[in-house]
Structures are given as C-alpha cells and as structure tokens.
Amino acid sequence: MAPRLVVVGGGISGLAAAWAARRLARERGDALEVIVLERDAEVGGKARSIERDGWLVEAGPSGFLGGRPAMERLVEEAGLSPDAIPAGVASRRRFIYRAGRMREIVPNPFALVRHGILSVRGMGRLLVEPFVRARRDGGDEGVFDFAARRLGSEVADRMVRPMALGIFAGDARRLSLAAAFPRMAALEREHGSIIRGMMARRGRTSSGTLTSFRHGMQSLPLALAQGGAFTVRRNARVEAIRRATASSMPTQPASASPSWEVVVEGDGIPIRADGVILAGEPWAMAALVRPLDHAAAAELEAIPCPPIAVVALGFAPGATERIPAGFGVLIARDEGFRMLGNLWESHLYPGRSPEGHVLVRAILGGAVDPDIGALSDDAVLQLAREEVTRLYGITDPPVHVRIERVARAIPQYVLGHGERVARIERALACFPHLDATGFGLRGVAFADAASDGVTVGERMAARLLGMPTSIDAAAAIAG
C-alpha cells in the first residue's frame, strides 16, 4: 500500500511541500498519496488576490524576488511562466517620508545627502563602514543595533527602521538580524563588511527581479492546488493530530503501520497518515502540537503575529500627477502618521487598475501599532483616507475601496528566533515522520516560504519512501 502524507495548511508553503513530495515520488517511480487540508474556502493563505471592476487588489504580498531556483521551478511546473510579470522600471524608485516630505532613496551616499535623507556627517559615518571591526562572537543581534554598529546611528534610524516596517511591519530594535535578514548577516560574517561583501558579490549574485502574475500572487497557490497530483480538501479544519495506535479503528487505507491520525472537524473517522507536515501559522500549529509537546507548542505560540490592515484606494486619472512613478513610500515613525507606508500598485504591474487610474495600498498596524486591530473597518478607512490626503494632497474621494484585515499577520522574527526554531525542530524530530514549514519559521517572504516548503516536502517524501536524508545522516553520525 502506498504511504500517505497529510499536509495541514494550503498556503504557499504547504502546497509547495505537497507538490515537491509528489514530484520526488514520481521521479523515483514510487507511489505516494498526498492530501492537503485547508481550513478556509480558498487556498493561498496570506496570498489572496481580489479582482473586481478592473481593479486587482492584493490582500497579502504584492510580488516575489526571482533568483530562487526552487521557486522558479514551481512557477515553471505549475505552468505560470507565461503569466509571470516583472515589475516595471518605475519600481526601482523608492521613497521615504521624512522631515515633512517624500524623499527618493538613491543608492549613492552623495545623493542621500542631496535628497535630505542623510546629513553630511551621516554620510561620512556610512563611508567608513569597511573599516569597522566585524563582530565574530556569533551571538544574536538586533537589526537596528547591527545597522548602527556598522553603518552609523543615522542610517539605522532614518533608513533601516523604515525598511523593517516595509518588510516585516516590525520594530528594527526587536527583530533578529540573523533570522530576519540572514543575507545581511552573511556579508559581515564572510567578508567582514557589508560594503566589501556587496562589492565582492557584484555580478555573481543578484536579489532577483520583483515579479508577480497576471492575475495576482494567489495564482501560484491556485495553480499548484489544481495541477498537483494530490488531493486538496478545502473547508477542512484540523482539530487534532495524534499518534496512531494498534487499537485504533481501521479507517481509510494507508500503509501497514501508519504513524498518525488526523482529526478533521465534521469527519466521522480520522485520516490515517504515515507522515504529517504542519504548514500553518505559528499559533495554529501550536494548538495541534500542544498535546504532543507542551514546550514546542509554547515556542510556536511565542512567535508574535500582530494585526495588519490593508486599505486599497483607487483614484480617478486626475490623481496620477500627485503620486510619483515608483514602488511606494515608507513613513518614518516620528512623522505623525499611523500608516507604515504605501505601495503604488498601478506603477508596479500592468492591469492593477483601469486605464489611467491609480491604485494605492496603505498598510497599517504591525508590531509598532497593534492597536489598529481594535479599530472598526470604518475607522480604519477614515484614517487611511485622511493620511493619504495629507500625504499626497489628493482631495477627491476614491472611486474604489477595499479593506482587508488580518488579525494575526506577519510573524515577527524577534531576537532569539533562530534558537526558538531550532528548539521546535528538535522537538518535532522526536516524533516519527512529523515536520513543519510555513512563513512563521524560516522566511516570511513569499519565495522563501515556498522554497522552505519544497525542502520540507522533499525531506518528508524521502523518509516515507525509505531514502536517506541529510538530517538522518547527521543524526546517525551524532549517535
């Protein structure tokens, strides 16, 4: 009988894991049954794309960075390569709102001074970065502290803090450098300097092109669910996972000695499984892990996931002259705004708004303003409209409005996150054929979460099919 793998969670990580597991089995000529259980009516997790009346609004990520082989292979195999759309040239222009106005970020120290982002003194401190002694103790360090130590306090305050808002909706003083920005940590570790490291890697590595799909980011999860040789059950809320016992009542066929029973709300009998991958949000995985390991559940539950509000405002053609052609603007925390920033979606990809119109996505909340979660939709909309009016001077009302609320949104990789994930991994490794993925663990970016799903899916399939894995080999050596 073919082994059965159950994946709990139909976001990009879970679907990538299911796809990768089935692909490995197919390449080996082995049979492997894979079932994905998604609690919501749609797959995609945080990636939700809403098309209506000529507008395309992203409730979650607006794109992904190319250059990740696992992600690019997923896109190709899902048949979405023809629908992939690179961001327009205008997306290279990015802005910070500081000292009362928008200022363009140009990757040149002298331009940063000219545009009022840095002072001459701040530029000078930035330029001595290659001569700052590298930290070699291997300890965790906050993103802000790292930037202040290497680049100077002015760069840390005026540029890095807003950057953390834009990526994590987080507080740079609390975020772990190694977990949140591992590539930045690697530059100092491998080259002793950020600037020297970037110069050494120039031409050899690239962060990739910002990319989306013709019908939005949810296109990939939908394509994987539709085209994967596995079963996807929607509206399937998992209540529990538990170890299978010899006295368990026989249910659906699985292998001779299944390890797990997965209890789905409303099902009369549990699903027997040889392997389980948890691919949900940290708090959701915590509830399932708690009966197995209280300490691991507490670690998962301790990963902060503050609320986010996304307010999409579509404006008539007259507003286009008020908004620069570019990616968007980040807003420093001491400027009197509650918005973290805006994305100018119409400038990023074609087809996001009717011809000549402009779509602005305002982001509010996050770790720096969790009280946004207590406001009503009307209050959030009024706040966004008032601040957008103040920011751009647009007085005409929007012709399209969409509000998306996420009560527990982007996981915060706070100091100690790497050690926390290692403890979770060690705890789950004590159970046969149980693993976890998801954007709460090893990468919040869409491509990173997908790539991690591929890694975990391949690893689980290898175990179920009797193939050695690198982790199994390491455990054997250690033993």
Contact 324, 348 (CB under 8 A): no
Is residue 114 pLDDT above 70, yes or no? Answer: yes
pLDDT for res 4: 97
Is residue 1 pLDDT above 90, yes or no? Answer: no
What's the rounded mean pLDDT across residues 425-429?
97
Q: How confident is the model at residue 467 (pLDDT cuts 50, 70, 90)?
A: confident
Task: Identify the three-state secondary structure at position 249.
Answer: coil
d(CA 94, CA 82): 27
Q: Which pLDDT tens digit goes with each residue over 39-95?
A: 999 999 999 999 999 999 999 999 999 888 999 999 999 999 999 999 999 999 999
d(CA 479, CA 106): 53
Is residue 247 pLDDT above 70, yes or no? Answer: no
The answer to which of 4-18, 256-270, 327-341, 369-383 has the lowest mean pLDDT is: 256-270
CA distance from start to end of the chain: 31
Count the neighbouring beta carbons within 10 Å of the beta carbon of residue 295.
11
Report which of 461, 409, 408 is spatially closest to residue 435, judged by C-alpha positions: 461
d(CA 2, CA 19): 17
- CA-CA-CA-CA torsion sign (194, 200, 203, 208): negative
Q: Which pLDDT tens digit goes with each residue over 339-353?
A: 999 999 999 999 999
Q: Which residues pair with 401 in a beta bridge?
A: 313
Contact 408, 307 (CB under 8 A): yes
Q: Which pLDDT tens digit goes with each residue over 298-342?
A: 999 999 999 999 999 999 998 988 999 999 999 988 999 999 999
Q: What is the DSSP string of 402-431?
A: EEEEESS-SPP-BTTHHHHHHHHHHHHTTS
User: Which residues have CB under 8 Å from 192's CB, separation 6+?
Assistant: 134
Q: What domains are defined for the chain?
A: 4-46+217-303+413-478 (3.50.50.60), 49-90+305-406 (3.90.660.20), 118-132+140-201 (1.10.3110.10)
d(CA 193, CA 199): 10
Q: Could you give phi then psi for residue 308, rounded to 5 degrees?
A: -135, 140
Q: Which residues pair with 104 in a beta bridge?
A: 95
339-344 and 358-365: which strand pairing?
antiparallel
pLDDT for res 258: 75
d(CA 258, CA 432): 10
Q: How confident is the model at residue 207 (pLDDT cuts 50, 70, 90)?
A: low
d(CA 58, CA 216): 7
The two tokens of residue 307 are 């609320």
Is residue 235 pLDDT above 50, yes or no? Answer: yes
127-130-131 Cα angle (round to 5): 100
Contact 57, 343 (CB under 8 A): no
Q: How confident is the model at residue 208 (pLDDT cuts 50, 70, 90)?
A: confident
Is residue 469 pLDDT above 80, yes or no? Answer: no
pLDDT for res 478: 42
Contact 315, 330 (CB under 8 A): no
Is residue 249 pLDDT above 60, yes or no? Answer: no
Is residue 257 pLDDT above 80, yes or no? Answer: no
Is residue 424 pLDDT above 90, yes or no? Answer: yes
The answer to which of 5-9, 196-200, 252-256, 350-354 has the lowest mean pLDDT is: 252-256
Is residue 476 pLDDT above 50, yes or no? Answer: no
pLDDT for res 477: 40
Count the neighbouring beta carbons within 10 Å of the beta carbon of residue 75.
23
Q: Which residues pair with 329 in a beta bridge?
A: 95, 342
pLDDT for res 451: 97
Report which of 351, 312, 91, 95 is spatially closest to residue 210, judged by C-alpha positions: 91
Contact 398, 361 (CB under 8 A): no
Share of the chain above pLDDT 70, in %: 94
Q: Which residues pair with 331 in a beta bridge?
A: 97
pLDDT for res 67: 84
Task: Identify the three-state secondary structure at position 342.
Answer: strand
Is residue 278 pLDDT above 80, yes or no? Answer: yes
Q: How confident is the model at residue 474 (pLDDT cuts 50, 70, 90)?
A: very low
What's the rounded mean pLDDT across residues 198-204?
80
* Count of residues in the chain: 479
Q: Could you give phi then psi for residue 68, rounded to 5 degrees?
A: -100, 110
d(CA 437, CA 281): 9
Is residue 253 pLDDT above 50, yes or no? Answer: no
Place of tokens 């918005």: 339
What's the rounded mean pLDDT across residues 216-236?
97
CA distances from 214 to 48, 54, 347, 421, 463 (A): 13, 13, 14, 35, 37
